[in-house]
């Protein structure tokens, strides 16, 4: 059975199913979330503690890949300022949004694929970020749990 596929931009929004309309409404938010994750990557590579910290909600909860729990922006800032500028690695790190689930229109769970590329081989992390959209439209990191992926 052959069916013609019609691009959704050719269909008036009121004729689309509710799921399609919601997806269109979320697309700008998804792009903003991807931008935050790209900024995490950029600031990590640049060892830019202040740029990284600007991405956090004041009440954030952050758990590092090694299990250190940081409660609130002050604790996250103290840890980041002490560790990030002097961090030593011999390769690059990349961050890619793997999946986004909107829990509410202003709250998103974001699964990230994090890869450290080095001469010894790649290692992977799998952070989960809970991000919240602020009244001004910015998305901020509100909760983060990073987990190292171990092979074997």
Q: Pick from 101, 103, 129: which is nearest to 114 by CA?
A: 129
Compute the average pLDDT of residues 103-118. Answer: 94
Compute the average pLDDT of residues 115-132. Answer: 91
Mean pLDDT across the chain, nearest whole number? Answer: 85
Q: Pick from 149, 114, 112: which is nearest to 130 by CA?
A: 112
pLDDT at 6 over 90: no
- Please say whether the beta carbons of 65 and 146 come within 8 A: yes
- Tell how far CA 42 is from the center of its chain: 12
Strands 128-133 and 139-145: antiparallel
pLDDT grade for 152, boundaries at 50, 70 and 90:
low
Q: Pick from 32, 24, 48, 49: which is nearest to 140 by CA?
A: 32
């Amino acid at each position: 059975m052959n069916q013609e596929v019609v691009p959704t931009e050719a269909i008036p929004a009121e004729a689309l199913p509710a799921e399609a309309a919601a997806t269109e409404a979320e697309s700008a938010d998804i792009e903003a979330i991807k931008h935050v994750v790209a900024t995490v990557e950029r600031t990590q590579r640049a060892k830019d503690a202040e740029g990284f910290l600007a991405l956090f909600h004041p009440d954030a909860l952050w758990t590092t890949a090694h299990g250190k729990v940081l409660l609130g922006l002050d604790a996250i800032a103290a840890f980041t300022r002490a560790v990030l500028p002097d961090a030593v690695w011999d390769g690059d790190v990349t961050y890619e949004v793997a999946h986004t689930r909107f829990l509410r229109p202003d709250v998103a769970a974001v699964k990230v694929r994090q890869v450290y590329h080095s001469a010894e081989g790649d290692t992977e992390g799998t952070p989960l970020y809970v991000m919240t959209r602020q009244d001004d439209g910015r998305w901020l990191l509100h909760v983060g749990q990073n987990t190292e992926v171990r092979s074997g």
